[in-house]
Amino acid sequence: MTSIADEARLVFDNFTDRTASIFHPTLRLGVTGLSRAGKTVFITALVHNLLSGGRLPLFKAQANGRILGADLEEQPDDAVPRFQYEDHIRRIVEERVWPESTRAISELRLTVAFESASSWRRMLPGGRLTIDIVDYPGEWLLDLPLLDKDFTAFSAEALERAQLPSRQKEAGPFLQKLASVDPEAAADEVTARDLSAAFADYLKACRADGSALSTLPPGRFLMPGDLDGSPALTFAPLPVEPGRTYPKGSMAAHLARRYEAYKTVVVKPFFRNHFARLDRQILLVDVLQAINAGPEAVADLETALTDILGCFRPGRSTWLGGFLTRRIDRILVAATKADHLHRESHRRLEAIVRQIVDDAVARAKFSGAKTDMLAMAAVRATREATITDAGEALPVIVGTPAKGETIGKRSFDGQTETAVFPGDLPDDPRRLFDPQNGIEPGSLRFVRFRPPKLQPSTEGLILSLPHIRLDRALEFLLGDRLQ
């Protein structure tokens, strides 16, 4: 993926980080996920529960009373925007609306003071662990495999995906415009711009709720930020022939040069400055959205996870090797929005995640890092109940749907609580990949619920945000560093 010069810089940066960690232990936690998986909510809930001493029974250091306190500190990277925790928690708790999705990279530093679990070490001063939380869009991960692909390989894969039956509707306008472009013709900026815009529109349409497709590189076409309209983002795949050299000044040569610029200007700096410096990683996935979109969306999610897992620098480093090379040694894949299902379906959701991830791990030939999977909700927006319908007891979830959400012909006003029977997940996860015997697209009932209203305790204290298995996620990601 990287040149010798890139690797040398990685070694230098890692040596600097590790040297500082001798006197100030630091863990860099990457938080990412594909669109609308809940990255911002996860980070906000994690920080809120550690700052407020939230209810985390499976997070041993907290449950055993060994967390002495937690504080936000000034982040180390001045060139990276700060994760605006204060704004996000206010929107969730006071306004009861979800914060905006991740659009770019951000960072937050949290220092946890703790007492050792070892009885003899308790005689020493308490420990401190600094956690640098790095929040970045999952779509950017899907760009990393591009570093190993030239324009011809990228074009072949992109066009093969665009011609799949599941993408026929979304890709139609782009493919129609592409049919009028001659790769050997003289480069034309207007044509390049229009073709690039059509390609970006196709990728955005695939990401919409109804399609819920996940394999959509280049990622910055979905989230251009300050690069919107730049030459590095003004390209598109072309039907170029492998091994053929196109004349200088042709459309093929023109777009190939911009593709290489995209890798140089966008992908390599992200890999070098952020991704390659991570110690732990959580990957959040909205599996329910893919399930409800049908078997092709589930298969596409598996392909995306395969590509993502193939990007990680996994494995355990030796004590000395850790100074020179950094490796992610723990990866957690979490299916979010478990609060959209009754707990009776949580086991099935985790089995589905495990099936998808295990297949992706095998396809990516991934090894070295410790991995785990779970179904969770960083902020629980619903509670569970049972209702009787035609003499049959149905497990339902109760919450306040956001304004404008609908079920059938019913539209919600954002103020009224309602009970929802979301439907059943299959016992056998393999059914989700079967177009003949899988779940009918749209057969599950999902709405976006507002964040919960926090109720005061009997002592008048406002309780921390409720969750599902956030404590289990923290134990896997941080527990061993708080011993």
State mean pLDDT over 167-194.
Answer: 95
The whole-number pLDDT of residue 210 equals 62
149-159: average pLDDT: 96
pLDDT for the residue numbered 149: 92
- What pLDDT shows up at residue 317? 44
What is the model's pLDDT at position 321?
Answer: 39
What is the value of pTM for the model shown? 0.86
Mean pLDDT in residue range 459-477:
86
Evaluate whether 461 touches 474 at the Cβ level (below 8 Å). Answer: no
Average pLDDT over residues 144-151: 90
- List b or e across 363-399, with b for residues whose CB sees 16 or more CB atoms inside 10 angstroms: ebebeebebbbbbbbbbbbbeeeeeeeeeeeebbbeb
**Strand, helix or coil at 478?**
helix
Report how far residue 356's alpha carbon sits from residue 432's, in angstroms, rounded to the nearest whole number.
10
> In which element (H, E) is residue 85 found?
helix 85-90
The amino acid that residue 379 corresponds to is: V
Question: What pLDDT, on the 0 to 100 scale, is given for residue 379?
Answer: 97
Residue 319: its pLDDT value, please? Answer: 37
Query: Residues 184, 186, 189, 190: is their CA dihedral positive or negative?
Result: negative
Tokens representing 330 are 């723990």
Instruction: Report whether pLDDT(320) > 50.
Output: no
Q: What pLDDT is stored for residue 483 in this prediction?
A: 86
Residues 52-64, mean pLDDT to the nearest whole number:
93
Q: 324 falls in which pLDDT band (50, 70, 90)?
A: very low
Rounded CA gap, 60 and 121, in Å?
17
| Whether pLDDT at 282 is above 60 | yes
Per-residue pLDDT band for 316 (boundaries 50, 70, 90) equals very low
The answer, yes or no, to whether residue 281 has pLDDT greater than 50, is: yes
Rg (CA), the chain: 24
Q: What integer is the mean pLDDT of 280-306? A: 88
Give the pLDDT band (50/70/90) at residue 446: confident
Model pLDDT, residue 9: 58
pLDDT value of position 140? 84
**What does the alpha-carbon distance between residue 429 and residue 354 come to, in Å, rounded to a whole number?**
9
What is the band of 47 on the pLDDT scale with cuts at 50, 70, 90? very high
Tell me the average pLDDT of the chain: 86
CATH number of this structure's domain 4-136+274-380+469-482:
3.40.50.300
Q: Which helix (H) or strand (E) holds 364?
A: helix 346-364
Residue 397: φ, ψ to 5°: -115, 145
CA distance 313 to 366: 10
365/367 Cα distance (integer angstroms): 7
Closest CA to 99 of 56, 39, 141: 39
pLDDT bucket at 323, cuts 50 / 70 / 90: very low
Domain boundaries, the chain: 4-136+274-380+469-482, 144-264
Q: Find all residues with CB under 8 Å of 199, minimum gap 6, and list them.
A: 174, 221, 236, 237
